[in-house]
Amino acid sequence: MILVYIEQDRGKVNEASFEALTLARQLAEMSNAPLHASAIGSASDALVARLGAFGVNTLHLAQHAQLNEYAPAAYAQSIVEILNAHKPDAAFAAGAERGNEIMAHVAAKTNLPMAANCVQAQTGEDYVVTRLRWGGSLLEEAKLKGATKLLTVAPNSIPAQAAAHAQTVAVDAFTPQLSENDLRARVVARVETASGKISLGEARVVVGGGRGVGSAEGFKILEELADLLGGAVGGSRVVTGLGWRPHADQIGQTGNRIQPELYISCGVSGAIQHMVGAKGAKHILAINTDPDASIMFKADYAVIGDLHQVVPAICAEIRKRRG
Amino acid sequence: MSNLPSHARVVVIGAGIVGNSMVYHLAKLGWRDIVQLDKGPLPNPGGSTGHASNFIFLVDHSKEMCKFTLDSVEQYKELGVFTQSGGIEVSRTPERVEEFKRRIASGKAWGVEGMHLISPAEVKKLVPYLNEKIILNGFYTQGIGTVDSLRAGTLMREYAQSVGALQTFANTEITGLPVENGRIVGVETNRGNLRAEIVVIACGLWSPRLARMAGAYIPLTPAVHQMISVGPVPELMDTVGEIKYPIVRDMDTNMYERQHGSDMEVGSYAHRPILWAPDDVPSNEQAALSPTEAPFTQADFDPQLEQALELIPDILGNEKVGIRYAINGLLSLTPDGFPILGETPEVKNLWSVAAVWIKEAPGIARAVAEWMTHGNPEIDPSGSDIARFYPHQKTKTHVNARSAEGFNKTYGIVHPREQWASNRNVRLSPYYEREKNLGAVFYEAMGWERPQWYESNAKLLDEFGARVMSREAEWDARWWSPIINAEHLALRERVGMVDLSAFALYEIQGAGALDFMQKMAVNQMDTPIGRVTYTNFLNEHGGIKADLTVMRLGKNHFRVVTGAFDGARDKKWLTDHLPDDGSVTLTDITAAYSTLGVWGPQARAVLQTIGETDWSNDAFSFGTCKYVDFGTVHVLASRISYVGELGWELYVSFEQGAKLWDMVYEAGQRFGIAPVGIGVYGTTGRLEKAYRLYGSDLEMEFNLVEAGMMRAKVKAQDFIGKAAYLKQRAAPPAALLCSLTVDDHTSSSGVKRFMQGREPILTLDGGPIEDARGRRSYVTSAGAGPSLGKYILMSYLPPEYAKVGVKLKVEYFGEHYPVTVASVGATPLLDPENKRLKA
Amino acid sequence: MNILVCIKRVPLTGGKISLTTDAQAIDTRLMGFTISPHEECAVEEAVRLVEKHGGAATVLTLGPVDAAEQLRDAMAIGIERAIHLESDGREFDPVATANAIVEAIRADGATFDLLLFGNEAADTGDFQVGVRVAYALGLPCMTGIKEISVNGNQVTAKREIPGGWEIFDAPLPAVITVKEGINLPRYPSLPGRLKAKKKPLATTQPAWQDGGLQKIKLLNPPEEAHQVEILGKGPEAAPRVVDLLAELGLL
């Protein structure tokens, strides 16, 4: 039997679980093993039906009052009980934050090896897995041992695909035995992200200006855009060197290191020392007149054009949409 | 990205400060159809320019480098990218205090303004965060500043593009440099190939790799310069702009501290030399930062931390101020510390502009662009000419050894005669073992080991007593011995033998040899066979390209004899002008012949006993040469002298050299023969005779008329530079090379001081002397004249000062010494009628 | 409070990574090294917690001889002492790594109130060493943490989730694995560097063991050229920019 942990949070299923399920099914088919799933709490009819479509014939559903809020050790204990009862050949989870965490707890509890973020696996007495290293910049081929192979599957590496033949899912609800230790670390509350004026280091949106801004006054439109998005304004070293912004606003190796969701760079050439400061940005949007500038090799999105026209147009569009 | 064109007149490889300066100056000089390529992105393609600390100190002991720097600053100012901050070199040792005086003198000689020696308190006033208690003084130069070199590059490219001269392609990697018939014909890239007439390699530390693609050599090595940047400094947070405080160079610890916005950059040249191989430098894709910002090796910098902390305790000692950036910055080092400029000797139309720093790049680019355009750059780049290197100097072993040795001298106090310690004994004359046994102290000349003097001649010191003109000051006597002057007197009064095996010798032969030599040389080459002619080569503009002797050995057979320091360059100049039809050949016979000079009143007496010919004046007159048998040794004897004495240069095949040495040495014993070193041949002997030395007294910036070497007549035949030379002769010279003598050597502390060369000549009121072309007067050569009992300086002086008896001053270590013009032009102080020579 | 931070020495890579010819490792001959980024934040967090609550922090690494460099780096920003589990150059898998750390903690004898790890090492990305150590020592464990506050014997830790945070609570002593973003690690000062050279560093050599995840070889993934998505030219691109802002949840 091959087991797949289906991750859900307050009724919402993590889609990456179905990617893990797809890889698990491929292995199950090769070794002619039944495919089981496990989940915590309740399972909607839709979920059960979808699991069937993906080739699952049994869903182990752990139910316990203490599982209503997330507690990684307790969640892991639920899986360990299935492992103990059914001795699967392998247990899979999504290589998501919780999937990796829960599987690590399972591994620690059972003293089994675990391979995180796999993109391929071959069955056998030992599994041969291909997994991500360096966040995907490198791959590792490794031998994974253990009575039950523990794997997580790297998100976005295997497209989720339903089985050729749907299965009818038997739901096996059970109540895991949770110890006090399983509940020592758990979620006690949730809070929404706060808003308000924030620093360059904390901002979710940073609007940065380079030489292309042209003057200290030129930064006004950048301020405006940042205000609209609740972000912060910074500048390259050239800009602080020219005295257009105070030194405290410098983004770069020798200034602030930023880590926003989006860095909007305006008229910045993309000097290495600047980009080192901005490498924590999840996404970079470059607004620049030169399509050959270094920044274009680092940016995810670009607008080719004069920032003095583009930035006000973006501000106007934001206002228009907000009404 | 747009497509590469299929053809360009000139391709410039590299878009760092050098490549950008090159396209700018080529465009300014009217070049069109220029294509610039770089494998990296713009504006920072990832070379050394991108991580340069970008400050410019003005003074350099080298005239060439100082002039390039001054020109560059002017250009940066014009581009609006220069910020003047002033700069201070600080001293921690008494030796450095002295060195500053010498630096001021060099600055004065090359035209630097606004230099002052200032007290620790004055340093503190300018740089309030510096601990003045540990320094002895400061050398402040007002005109020092910083430059935005990336911005400068962009502006330069934009200029060239705006006049329609340039297309630039970033992210384009060179994969090959095809050569046909010894000529570059284009470039191959990852985006296609293009044909080109000329290719300029301006890619810094990648240059050797590029040159090898074409079969040429650019002998430099990437090397590490460590730099850290600390911040944010609370004291600097409110400063506006890039730099407010003067840049500080802590000379005695080989470090600098430079404010950069709210940060302080600390750079070091004190760590162990860390050399990289060009092939090991990562690509832009592989590099964590840029390819030339290599990982910082903390252990190498550790010793510098405490020294930096001592000097800048408040800022660097603040625990809140962090080391935010630390790199092993890669830059280019060369075996002699000079850039590598000019057309490669291996491949026609393939040019190198490499090992160039931010401070001198635009100036150098202008000179190279002029060189490419008309062959006569305003600032003479001969010291940096790529053609200066001999084969052994292009080897990795040599490049790495000398670059490593030179690295820690970046801020060093380097004596003008200081010798390299590494990679010695690479070229040895057949006399070497004998010389060693005689206690020779060897100095190096382009690999050759030459005796500078012989310790075995110490016995002569007693004989000549006070006439050896001993030196009291350690600096003056460093890398020097009074034995040199004793050897000089022994030669002048008896006879001496001098090892001249370092001569570069080129045989010019073939049906067109006479015509070729006529074209090259200023003097008449159609002389009787057996004539020896001292002559010059000029460039088209009348600049002096070479200074050498030519022996006519046959109707169409000449032997060119030139000095080791100039030989490789002269060879390229000759080779470049050989006719394409193969009617003239040049054969390098340097390694086949050694040369022994025998000079002095007894020279004839010595040679008569061993050389089987009539050595009399009638039979063997001055300026002639002939083959003479010395027993079984076949010798070409040439009656000529660079020390102004009766005597001969004896050319002997290398394997018989030792035998000839033994014969001369033995025969000379009863005439009191002394082995004599280059200290006499290269300095004292020639200075008494006002003989010029190429590279010191003669260079492209001065012409033959100014050098006092105008011949009485101009030959009828055409030669390179003739038209310019005729013009020079017709116009009054702006300066004249004179011999001066020092009237009083006594310093304020009562110690007798002796100038070493390159000092400024000043008017009696201490002001600089400048000629009508803006060239300042400085000492081109300096040395003792033991036979005269005088100390001799040579200097170009404007006509109003170039008169015998005119009193002037020379500045040496901050003091002024009285000098007198003793002769003007080529007239020697010793034996002006040349009676000795023609005895 | 007494804190232990476990760190890993990793090469400072650019985008493109080259492998050794036997494909067993990254070719690091010309590379620099650093503390793995999450762990660099763990070091900073330890220093901040000690600054706030008193006590002392110890840094531990399992790695080759040269990993002492990273221990000194950590001490340069305020960690008091270091433990170096010197490997013979072979890679320890997550089980072996956790075992070696546990053994070292027991041998050290000190009691730690908090053990900080990175959420995952930059190079191997195993996501489990901290958890395994927690179980071996019988401690509660929280992973992926971006904020820590200590209140007496309790620790509160925040983990980022889309649109907000989930807040964990656990008694001390505990193991926490942190994520980049929990803080901005400070840079070492010059005096810090000099002090670090004199701080105590203890070295032991743990035995290598097979923990059940054995590397066969490394391989480069198929190369994907970086593609910048051009949203448009000039002000006409504004609507697409705002679409992007909406997509990223920033409007």
**B101 lies in a domain?**
yes
- The answer to whether residue B262 scores a pLDDT higher than 60 is yes
Pairing of strands B145-147, B179-180: unpaired
Question: A176 and A234, same structural domain?
Answer: no
Question: Residue B806 falls within a domain, yes or no?
Answer: no
Closest CA to B236 of B304, B310, B314: B314
Whether residues A215 and A277 share a domain: the answer is yes
Q: Taking CB atoms and an 8 Å cut-off, how many pairs form between chains B and C?
A: 67
**Domain match, A104 and A142 both:** yes
Radius of gyration of chain B (CA): 28
User: Residues A313, A214: one domain?
Assistant: yes
Q: Where residue A197 falls among pLDDT bands split at 50, 70, 90?
A: low
Is pLDDT of A288 > 90?
yes
Is residue B615 located within the same domain as residue B533? Answer: no
Distance CA B713, CA B726 (A): 10
Out of B305, B333, B361, a domain closes at B333
Regarding whether A218 and A96 lie in a shared domain, the answer is no
Tokens found for residue B365: 């680019």
CB B297 within 8 A of CB B223: no
Same domain, B281 and B160: yes
Partner residues linked to B676 by β-bridges: B498
- CB distance from C234 to chain B under 8 Å? no
Q: Are residues B498 and B598 in the same domain?
A: yes
What are the tokens at A111? Answer: 């003293």
Residues B70 and B129 in one domain: yes
What CATH number corresponds to the domain at position A212?
A: 3.40.50.1220
Closest-CA distance, B285 to chain C, in angstroms, reads: 5
Sequence-separated (6 or more) residues with CB below 8 Å from residue B618: none
Confidence of residue B285 (pLDDT cuts 50, 70, 90): confident
d(CA C112, CA B684): 79
pLDDT digits (tens, 9 = 90+) for B759-772: 999 999 999 999 99
Q: What is the 3-class SS of B392-407, one letter each residue? A: HHHCHHHHHHHHHHHH
pLDDT digits (tens, 9 = 90+) for A8-37: 988 889 999 999 999 999 999 999 999 999
Q: Which of A123, A148, A183 lies at the terminal end of a domain, its last residue?
A: A183
Residue at A199 is within a domain: no
Total length of chain A: 323
Residue type, B672: G
* ipTM for this model: 0.94
Q: Are residues B95 and B197 in the same domain?
A: yes
Whether B483 is in a domain gets the answer: yes
How high is the pLDDT of residue A11?
Answer: 84
Instruction: For residue C9, list its beta bridge partners.
Output: C35
CB contact under 8 A, B309 and C187: no
Taking the Cβ of residue C127 and every Cβ of chain A, the question of whether any pair is shorter than 8 Å is answered with yes
What is the separation, in whole angstroms, between the first and last Cα of chain C?
42
Average pLDDT over residues B120-126: 98
Identify the DSSP state of A310: H
Q: Pick the catalytic residue: B38, B263, B499, B547?
A: B547
Question: What CATH number does residue B455 fall under?
Answer: 3.30.1360.120
Query: Which of C21, C38, C14 is CA-nearest to residue C145?
Result: C38
Residues B313 and B437 in one domain: no
A21 contacts chain C (CB < 8 A): no
Residue A265 lies in a domain: yes
- What digits encode the pLDDT tens for the residues B601-630? 999 999 999 999 999 999 999 999 999 999
- For the cut 90, the answer to whether the pLDDT of residue B784 exceeds it is yes
Q: Is the pLDDT of residue C86 over 60?
A: yes
Whole-angstrom CA distances from A157 to A17, A20, A103, A265 are 12, 9, 18, 30
CB contact under 8 Å between A211 and B151, yes or no, is: yes
User: Confidence band (pLDDT; 50, 70, 90) for B747?
Assistant: very high
C-alpha span between B86 and B115 (Å, rounded)? 10
State how far residue B277 is from chain A, nearest Cα, in angstroms.
Answer: 23
Least confident of A232-246, B74-88, B513-527: A232-246
Three-state secondary-structure class, residue B543: coil
pLDDT of residue A196: 53
- The number of residues in chain C equals 251
Which chain C residue is nearest to residue A136, measuring alpha carbons? C221
Q: Are residues A7 and A148 in the same domain?
A: yes
Three-state DSSP class for residue B703? coil
Evaluate whether residue B201 is within a structural domain: yes
CB-based contacts of A95: which residues, under 8 Å, 6+ apart?
Answer: A16, A20, A116, A117, A118, A132, A152, A153, A154, A155
Q: Which domain holds residue B485?
A: 418-502+592-688
B743 tagged catalytic: no
Tell me whether residue A311 is in a domain.
Answer: yes
Contact C76, C195 (CB under 8 A): yes
Alpha-carbon distance of A278 to A203, in angstroms, equals: 12
Using 50, 70 and 90 to split pLDDT, how confident is the model at A192?
A: confident
Same domain? For B40 and B181 the reply is yes
pTM attached to this predicted model: 0.92
Tokens of B282: 């990562």
Residue whose structure tokens are 């609006």: B80
Of B528, B544, B835, nearest in space to B709 by CA: B544
Catalytic option among B256, B443, B691, B725: B256
CATH code of the domain in which B575 resides: 3.30.70.1400
Q: Is residue B18 domain-shared with residue B139, that is, in the same domain?
A: yes
Distance CA B76, CA B73 (A): 5
C89 pLDDT tier (thresholds 50, 70, 90):
confident
Contacts of B32 (CB under 8 A, 6+ apart): B9, B164, B165
Q: What is the mean pLDDT of residues A87-92?
A: 98
Q: Going by DSSP bridges, is the β-strand pair A262-266/A205-209 parallel, antiparallel, or unpaired?
A: parallel
B735 inside domain: no
Total residues found in chain B within this entry = 839
The reply to whether A251 and A108 lie within a common domain is no
Residue B490 · residue B676 · CB < 8 Å: yes
B103: which 2 tokens? Answer: 């630096």
The C-alpha atoms of residue A318 and residue B703 are separated, in whole angstroms, by 72
Indicate whether B732 belongs to any domain: no
The SS3 of residue B781 is strand
Query: CB of B759 within 8 A of CB of B809?
Result: no
Determine, yes or no, domain membership for A200. no
Query: Are A170 and A232 in a shared domain?
Result: no
Residues A151 and A19 in one domain: yes
Chain A hits for B82, Cβ within 8 Å? none
Q: State the burial class of residue B286 (Cβ atoms within 10 Å of its Cβ: 0-12, 13-18, 19+).
A: middle
CATH number, domain at A134?
3.40.50.620
Q: Is residue B147 located within the same domain as residue B36? A: yes
Point out the least confidently predicted range of A195-204, B17-26, B423-432: A195-204
Count of domains for chain A: 2
* Domain range for A296: 205-322
Q: What are the tens digits of pLDDT across the range C98-154? A: 999 999 999 999 999 999 999 999 999 999 999 999 999 999 999 999 999 999 999
Q: Are residues A50 and A174 in the same domain?
A: yes
What pLDDT score was predicted for residue C222? Answer: 83
User: 3-state DSSP call for residue B250?
Assistant: strand
Task: Dump strand ranges (E) for B291-321.
Answer: 293-295
Please indicate, yes or no, if residue B436 is contained in any of the structural domains: yes
In this structure, the answer to whether residues B583 and B597 fall within a common structural domain is: no
Domains in chain C: ranges and CATH: 2-247 (3.40.50.620)
Number of structural domains (chain B) is: 3
**CATH code of the domain covering residue B325:** 3.30.9.10
Known active-site residue B225: yes
pLDDT reported for residue B3:
85
How far, rounded to the nearest angstrom, does the alpha carbon of residue A219 sit from its chain's CA centroid? 34
Most B-contacting residue of A273, A276, A279 (CB-CB within 10 A), to test interface = A273
Cα–Cα distance measured from residue A101 to residue A78, given in angstroms and rounded to the nearest whole number: 14
| Domain presence at residue A109 | yes
Last residue within a domain, chosen from B301, B333, B365 = B333
Strands lying side by side in the sheet with B790-797: B761-762, B807-812, B815-824, B736-742, B790-797, B779-785
For residues B37 and B12, membership in a common domain is answered with yes
* A216 and A173 in a common domain: no
- B/e letters for B114-148, b = 16+ CB within 10 Å, e = fewer, are ebebbebebbbebbebbbbeebbbbbbbbbbbbbb
Contacts of B566 (CB under 8 A, 6+ apart): B504, B546, B547, B548, B694, B695
Q: Which of A129, A148, A183 is at the close of a domain? A: A183
- Domain identity same for A178 and A74: yes
Kindly give the residue spans of alpha helices, DSSP state H, lying in B636-713: 657-668, 678-679, 685-688
Last residue of a domain, one of B309, B333, B357: B333
Residue A116 in domain: yes
Residue B51, H or E segment: none
- Alpha carbons B32 and B74: distance in angstroms, whole number: 25
| Domain annotation covers residue A152 | yes
**CA-CA distance, B416 to B754, in Å (whole number)?**
13
- Using an 8 Å Cβ cutoff, are C76 and C220 in contact? no
Neighbours of B531 (CB within 10 A): 17
Do B280 and B324 lie in one domain? The reply is: yes
Chain C residues lying within 8 Å of B295, measured CB to CB: 12, 30-33
A189 belongs to a structural domain? no
